[in-house]
Amino acid sequence: MSISHPFYDEHGDKLREECGVFGVTRANDAAAVTALGLHALQHRGQEAVGITSFDGTQFTSRRGIGHVSDNFSTPEAIAELPGFMAAGHVRYSTTGSGGLRNVQPLYADLASGGFAIAHNGNISNASTLRSELVQKGAIFQSTSDTEVIIHLVATSRYPTLRDRLVDALRLVEGAYALIVMTPQGMIACRDPLGIRPLQMGRIGDAVTFASETVAFDVIGAEFERQVEPGEMIEVDLEGNVTSFRPFGEARPRPCIFEHVYFSRPDSIFDGRSVYEARKAIGAQLALENPCNVDLVVPVPDSGVPAAIGYAQASGIPFELGIIRSHYVGRTFIQPSDTARHSGVKRKHNANRGLVEGKRIVLIDDSIVRGTTSLKIVEMMREAGASEVHFRVASPPTAHSCYYGVDTPERSKLLAARMDVEPMREFIQADSLAFISIDGLYRAVGEEPRNGGCPQFCDACFTGDYPTSLTDLANKTVGDAQLSFPVKEDA
């Protein structure tokens, strides 16, 4: 059966983190260290990469479309970025925001000197602030919400750059993990709720920051601690490290999807091994949603740790019933609809000799549009599985994210349009079940979701957004105002 569906996504059926950041100061060959760190963060953004370095006198930037290895794998490329301090960024582009002009770090010459910024997250009032700045005469060179921060810093009247950055960040809402470079040193900071992650490490005399601890493993650095929610850490040129809490105290709400999918399993997030957390999620899923089958089969690669936990808790054998090819690029040429719809078989292939005649339960981290789940269930049936059940290591994803995750419009999220039974019918599984939100909290070491004071940002599951969404509210009002006269005329 060929699949032609309005919710088909040729680029995959996963929520996508939009970026990862890395920075190091007081290091020999800082750009080379940064490139290596970005390799470890490549999973967080695979469409563009940039590095900016500083040698004590001059800032130098190099940016490119593609992977880190496409742009920073040669000695010549690294030699273009001299200096002891560097920051880097890997990103996905979103609709209308591709191209080199949006590749970070963004750089500007301010009155106080050079200013480079790498940002993971999303400013949910960026359009509103941008409009206000443009009305005052600001000229933007990109469509990135990160450039709003640069303009706010540039127009702040506070005397020091650090105070101007604090002044700027007081005006923004949403999520940010920032690495900033100035002629005076490096600043790392995280939004007051800590929605997006940021970690701190050391390698010799060098201080380094990264979205995930796995980057420290790769460069040989020692993980020191996370940058706390609302914390700003400044490292001057002599290596003095100063911590500030300019935004007061707030109850942290880190993104729970870091445990479920975004972070590499060999990272530490919120003080816990991501791999162990995912195994615990799988075990909780087995406790809540048992299944009478012969084999537990992960949807690779992201479903593997949860499937191990499910198998261990249930006593059902774990087997690799699906084999994934790691050599399929996301930009693979699609000469026809037939080839385009065969994408799942380029990435995944059934292990026919194993699953034929067996009752299997597939374990995946999430269902977004549902199209990939449908194709994988179909593939298992074609390989001879007698029953195909589906278990999901997260609650139904029914709401869009506005904090730095590239999610489809809510109308394209399967769980926003359907209850579980219609979803089961859509993906053609014999049964379908999700972990509960309380079960997910238990699995990652927290008490069940605590009413109005949840411990994580889980808005993609619950619709409980932890900050104001000014741009969305303005758009909703604007759309209503625009549509009202049309309805009247009709």
pLDDT on residue 225 = 97
**Residue 380 CB coordination number (10 Å):** 27
Q: What is the pLDDT of residues 215-229, one digit of tens each?
A: 999 999 999 999 999
pLDDT on residue 96 = 39
Q: Please identify which residue in the block is written with the tokens 């399993």.
A: 265
What pTM value is reported for the model?
0.90
Residue 95: partners with Cβ closer than 8 Å, 6 or more residues away = none
- Residue 317 φ/ψ, nearest 5 degrees: -60, 140
pLDDT per residue of the chain (490 residues) written in tens, 0 to 9: 333 333 334 345 666 657 999 999 999 999 999 999 999 999 999 999 999 999 999 999 999 999 999 999 999 999 999 999 999 999 986 433 567 889 999 999 999 899 999 999 999 999 999 999 999 999 999 989 999 999 999 999 999 999 999 999 999 999 999 999 999 999 999 999 999 999 999 999 999 999 999 999 999 999 999 999 999 999 999 999 999 999 988 899 999 999 999 999 999 999 999 999 999 999 999 999 999 999 999 999 889 999 999 999 999 999 999 998 877 554 333 344 444 445 556 678 999 999 999 999 999 999 999 999 999 999 999 999 999 999 999 999 999 999 988 777 898 999 999 999 999 999 999 999 999 999 999 999 988 886 667 899 999 999 999 999 999 998 765 554 433 332 222 2
pLDDT on residue 159 = 92
Beta strand segments in 253-312, E = 268-269, 272-273, 295-298
pLDDT on residue 405 = 84
What are the chain's domains?
17-254 (3.60.20.10), 276-325+333-462 (3.40.50.2020)
Residue 367: partners with Cβ closer than 8 Å, 6 or more residues away = 13, 373, 392, 396, 397, 414, 415, 423, 427
pLDDT on residue 354 = 96
Q: What is the pLDDT of residues 405-443, one digit of tens each?
A: 877 789 899 999 999 999 999 999 999 999 999 999 999
Q: Which two tokens stand for residue 150?
A: 């640069």
- Among this protein's residues, is 189 annotated catalytic? no
Angstrom distance (rounded) from CA 284 to CA 288: 6
